[in-house]
Amino acid sequence: MAITTTTNLSDLEFRNRIDGELYNPRLMESFFELKRSKLELFPLSSFCLIKSGTTPKDRDDMLKEGPVLFKTTDIRNNVLSPFDTYYHICESIHNRMAVTKLRPYDVLLNIVGATLDVIGRSSIIMDDFQEANITQAMAFLRIRKKEFLPGYLFAFLNTKYAQNQIKRYARPTGQFNLNLVEVGKLMVPKLPHTHQQNIENLIVDCTAYQKQSHILYHQAETLLAKELQLDQLKLPNKKWYTADYCEVMKERRMNAEFFSPDVYCILSQDFLKEAVTINEVFEIIRGYTPKCYYQSGVPVVKTKNVRTPNVDKKKISDHADSNEPLTQTKEEDLILAAMGVGSLGRMSYVTDKETNCAIDGTLRILRKKDLSLNDIEIPTMLFLSTEVGQKLIYRGISGTTGIISLPDDYLGRIPIPVFEKSVRRKVTELVLNSIKAKNQSEQLLAQAKHRVEELIEQEANKKINAINKTVV
């Protein structure tokens, strides 16, 4: 059923825009609410320097260090972490793109995206980030007037008041996109400085918890690596090797990874001499893919939601009917991605916040059945996430380069080290505290956004109440 919107010729925006979504009454409601408030509204261009970047054609996709080049996938309504993995460019390209070199407290905004979920996402760079630049698919917003604080602007861009403006202005061509003129016309309310400062303080605290989370997780990884003496492990890394016919027939495998000298070297290490197999410690439970997905119901974890150390629950978008035979998670489960190029082998630990979820058919649950091994789950996840653990996992893959999977019978035979009880407890404690700090960081970010919306709503309601009193 078609929905029509009528607009007067004199009300056309940008002089030539006649696309219907620009005049969508539903998206305009929040803007009218902004105008009803007593707050002054300022276009972004009046207090921000706005520039978009370029995507250099002579970049080297193999670079592992150097200045960062942010892509739209990095911009996820978050404080950008200096500890995450990013795309890199060389110094000469970075210097050639000097006009878009980023500075502390720059706010980044996606201005090109395949969907409305991508365009309009924002991030902020804090003062401890390395040299960085941007592509043409995003713009930086650099505040030039003291009346606005960057932390407040970033929080505002996450609210419905900004997002609905972006959804209106986004032009649906091959992809959704905004030009810099349209970005500059986004209207931002000027809150009192004390309120802006309180909101920016939340962003600063969010960054501190984010850093604490990384430090704790790194300590857990370092402790585990020290126990395994991984720094002393030298893998052969041979470019070619052979396998005996009898080995091939015994294993009924002919893929090169299965007979890799690297794997044989790993299997001969001391830390696996008294190892147990996954089958001995865990029950392997296959996921179930629902017949149909819905907007509400039981959240379904997919491969894209599996992150280490825990599930990225915020980005779960698919839900299933509870009447289906779902595979649901329990606290302390491990979730393993058992299918997909680039994602197979990724793992998550299930906290109490993810216990009401189900997993789809691309995933497996490792649920502890040997109750005598306390705190074995998180050390197992960390071990299998190391280069050594990933080589053991990828040894068993089957399928083509397009679709690869990990058979359950091979998964069950993967050996895992049994650390001393005190080590298992310490590693588990560090990772759980890391997850806790990460959750606190996310809560502060959400709190900043909700506080901005709350303050705007309060101002809008004040004016409505004043009008009502006058009428009475």
pLDDT digits (tens, 9 = 90+) for 124-139: 999 889 999 999 999 9
Together in a domain, 118 and 246: no
Residue 433 within any structural domain of the chain: no
Residue 178 within any structural domain of the chain: yes
Distance between CA atoms of 369 and 335, rounded to whole angstroms? 15
Q: Which of 451, 446, 463, 469 is nearest to 32 (CA)?
A: 463
Higher pLDDT, 91 or 314: 91
Query: Tens of pLDDT along 193-218?
Result: 999 999 999 999 999 999 999 999 99
Together in a domain, 264 and 373: yes
Residue 442 within any structural domain of the chain: no
Domain end point (choices 190, 224, 244): 190
Q: Six-digit token pair at 323?
A: 């009447």
Query: Tens of pLDDT along 346-398?
Result: 999 999 877 789 999 999 999 999 888 999 999 999 999 999 999 999 999 99
Together in a domain, 313 and 386: yes
Together in a domain, 267 and 140: no
- Is the predicted pLDDT of residue 403 greater than 70, yes or no? yes
Domain end point (choices 426, 445, 460): 426
Domain end point (choices 406, 426, 446): 426
Please compute Rg for the chain using Cα positions: 26
Residue 109 within any structural domain of the chain: yes
CA angle 388, 389, 395 (to 5 degrees): 95
| List of residues 6+ apart from 136 with CB closer than 8 A | 52, 53, 54, 55, 112
- Is the predicted pLDDT of residue 443 greater than 90, yes or no? yes
Together in a domain, 159 and 298: no
Residue 240 within any structural domain of the chain: yes
Residue 310 within any structural domain of the chain: yes
Distance between CA atoms of 78 and 110, rounded to whole angstroms? 12
Residue 465 within any structural domain of the chain: no
CA angle 37, 38, 40 (to 5 degrees): 105
The confidence score (pLDDT) of residue 356 equals 86
Together in a domain, 266 and 411: yes
Sequence letter at residue 175: Q
| List of residues 6+ apart from 378 with CB closer than 8 A | 220, 309, 349, 424, 427, 428, 431, 432
The confidence score (pLDDT) of residue 1 equals 46
Report how many domains make up the chain. 2
Together in a domain, 69 and 145: yes
Distance between CA atoms of 232 and 392, rounded to whole angstroms? 18
Together in a domain, 178 and 281: no
- Is the predicted pLDDT of residue 466 greater than 70, yes or no? no
Together in a domain, 34 and 169: yes
Together in a domain, 329 and 181: no
The confidence score (pLDDT) of residue 254 equals 84
**Domain carrying residue 164:** 9-190
Distance between CA atoms of 340 and 216, rounded to whole angstroms? 30
Residue 99 within any structural domain of the chain: yes
Together in a domain, 161 and 83: yes
Together in a domain, 48 and 93: yes
The confidence score (pLDDT) of residue 104 equals 97
Residue 15 burial by Cβ neighbours in a 10 Å radius (0-12, 13-18, 19+)? exposed
Counting every residue, how long is the chain?
A: 472
Domain of 413, CATH number, reads 3.90.220.20
Q: The whole model's pTM is what?
A: 0.89
Percent of the chain with pLDDT over 90: 79
